[in-house]
Structure 1
Amino acid sequence: MNRRTDEAPLRARVPGDLERPDRLAFGLTGRQLVILAVTGLLLYSAWTAAATIVHPLVFGAFTMPIAASAFGLAVGRRDGISLDAWVLAGLRHRRSPRRLVPVEGPITPAPPWVNTTAGAGDRLPLPAPLRLPAKGITEGGLIDLGGDGTTGLVAASTVAFGLRTATEQNGLVAGFARWLHSLDGPAQIVVRAQRVDLTYLADRYLAAAPGLPHLALEQAARAHAAFLDDLATQRELLHRQVTVAVRSRRGPHHTAHAATEAVRALVGCEVPARVLDGPDTAVRLAASLDPSGSAAGSRFADGSDGSW
């Protein structure tokens, strides 16, 4: 009897909100209950003070927008965060200085004889010190975040998932799910699509072609260089750069161990991966801060596939 090898694709259930706060009462969190309770107490105090001079319908008409705003602030969400935190972040951004400079200490004010005004009473504010979340990169390649701990970066490659059989796909999904379940701290997977320039490779093939030991090899090198030039002209080639970041507040040793375990789990899923050292971490951070991809484009000019 032939045994059927086709299996249905495996779906691994992984908790999506590991840091979701606990629901205390009525399906609301403690933060939401505090916002609603404080608003209710304030409205009740206002009604107690104005009950003898304000009609209930008039008081309700004035307080209904306040209650609705408090309810929306408590239960609403925007960009994946609670609405009250989003509003506080907006107010903090509004009040924060716009001009930042990378200095160690406080900003020295300009001398009085320097004209820094556009008109009467319109003196330009001094720039504020630029405070980045990362304090530096350790010798082991970890990103020092100060009070937030350290972060380790893992460079990973991609997997041709669609070319695998159903059994192989189920094995990859199960292995990836086991790694997600094993996480005991924050982790982030960043995928960046970057343009690939094949001009450098084509020039290298053309430069090395005359020195090849056989004429057929020289012709093959020139044909391959022409193929690369034609491919770059007709198509926009993209390369996906995958970076896994793991963070821990338990010390650099725990972060390094978490990064090593991530590599071990990904390799078990047939995903080539390695922990980035200091220079590679600096290059990867510089590439992530360059939207145009020019910093990372030079990374692939040496003929590497960019996954490492």
Structure 2
Amino acid sequence: MRARIPADVERPDRVAFGMTWRQLVTLTITGLLLYAAWTSVATVVPPLVFLLVAVPIAGAAFFVAVGRRDGISLDLWLLNAIRHRHAPHQLVPVNGPITPAPAWVATTHGPGDRLPLPAPLRLPARGITGDGLIDLGPDGTTGLVSASTVAFGLRTSAEQNGLVAAFARWLHSLDGPAQIHVRAQRVDLTYLADRLLAEAPGLPDPSLEAAARSHAAFLKDLAARRELLHRQVTVAVRSTRSPGHTIHQATETVRALSGCEVAARTLGPEDTSAVLADALKPSTHGALVVRTQVADFDESEPL
């Protein structure tokens, strides 16, 4: 059995003529304003002149109502653009009010030859609890779960149906918001290859030394010819109830994902802090260096 899930599950309902309530309200208000303008100037303005003025206005309102950009409606996109234009663009992390610069500091980049003050940086996360939860204040707490990937395309149809059914059971068990974050990062195998070459002379058998050198050459050749990626999957579950309920949700997520053959674990305070640090300051050019012990290296580990 297969269940088709729409790509946009939060798509607003179409009320009439394939339009949403917001689109209908926008067009209705525009029509009423144009009608009110016509009734007030009908005795002094020829109908053709009014029509020449009203058609561009009605066309612009229709374009704003039904147009889309960046996956959202054009009216919301314009509203967000206006908010971004008037919002402060320089934010600093402070606990109290920002002290203005001394009076003898004069600039020419702001109104009245004064440089505008930066605004306080208000992040939704207030801290990390001892259980590894992200404290969101009045919005509750969030627990992070690290998950592995599954080679779905290599499974048979029956196995794929089983994985989909297990994943669907986890989705149906959710009673709060959840987010799946997938991040790809380049992998650098040179460190592991150098470790193999450094420890190859100390192996007890010449055949093992030759195999280690051959494997190190294979890793260097693989890193030179291919761009290896490591996918880091993080599942975030949030609850507005008690922190214990969030911990229960994270634990149930680990248990449910294990039915999908996904190796998952809840993140502690240190791992949660590292995930947040990477999210706030992502590395665009750095590569993940594999620092696995030579004796514990597992070639079946997905990179």
For this structure pair, what is the TM-score category when the shorter chain's length is used for normalisation?
Answer: 0.7 to 0.9
Q: Give the alignment's Cα RMSD to 1 decimal.
A: 2.9
Mean Cα deviation higher: 90-99 or 175-184: 175-184
Residue in structure 2 matching 1:252, options 225, 243, 249: 243
Aligned to 2:223: 232
- What is the CA distance between 1:260 and its match in structure 2? 2.5
Checking the alignment, whether the CA contact within 8 Å between 1:155 and 1:275 is kept in structure 2 is yes
For 1:93, the aligned partner's letter is H
- What is the CA distance between 1:88 and its match in structure 2? 1.0
Aligned to 2:282: 290
SS at the partner of 2:288?
Answer: helix
Checking the alignment, whether the CA contact within 8 Å between 1:242 and 1:307 is kept in structure 2 is no
- What is the CA distance between 1:101 and its match in structure 2? 1.6
Residue in structure 2 matching 1:279, options 246, 264, 270: 270
> Structure 1 residues 302 and 130 mapped into 2: Cα distance closer, same or farther (>3 Å)?
farther
> Structure 1 residues 235 and 24 mapped into 2: Cα distance closer, same or farther (>3 Å)?
closer
Residue in structure 2 matching 1:56, options 47, 59, 74: 47
Checking the alignment, whether the CA contact within 8 Å between 1:14 and 1:180 is kept in structure 2 is no
Instruction: Name structure 2 gaps, 5 residues minimum.
Output: none
Matched, 1:84 2:75: yes
Checking the alignment, whether the CA contact within 8 Å between 1:14 and 1:177 is kept in structure 2 is no
Checking the alignment, whether the CA contact within 8 Å between 2:110 and 2:116 is kept in structure 1 is no
- What is the CA distance between 1:213 and its match in structure 2? 4.1
Aligned to 1:74: 65
Matched, 1:41 2:32: yes
Aligned to 2:164: 173
Corresponding residue pairs, total:
297
Aligned to 1:186: 177
- What is the CA distance between 1:151 and its match in structure 2? 2.6
Provide, for residues 164-220 of structure 1, a one-character-per-residue CA deviation record: whole Å limited to 9, x for no partner: 222212222222233334434333222222111112222333343444444443443
> Structure 1 residues 181 and 73 mapped into 2: Cα distance closer, same or farther (>3 Å)?
farther
Distance in 2 (CA, whole Å) between partners of 1:163 and 1:137 is 39
Checking the alignment, whether the CA contact within 8 Å between 1:12 and 1:177 is kept in structure 2 is no
> Structure 1 residues 249 and 23 mapped into 2: Cα distance closer, same or farther (>3 Å)?
farther
Name the % identity.
70
> Structure 1 residues 227 and 158 mapped into 2: Cα distance closer, same or farther (>3 Å)?
same
Residue in structure 2 matching 1:242, options 223, 229, 233: 233
Checking the alignment, whether the CA contact within 8 Å between 2:106 and 2:113 is kept in structure 1 is no
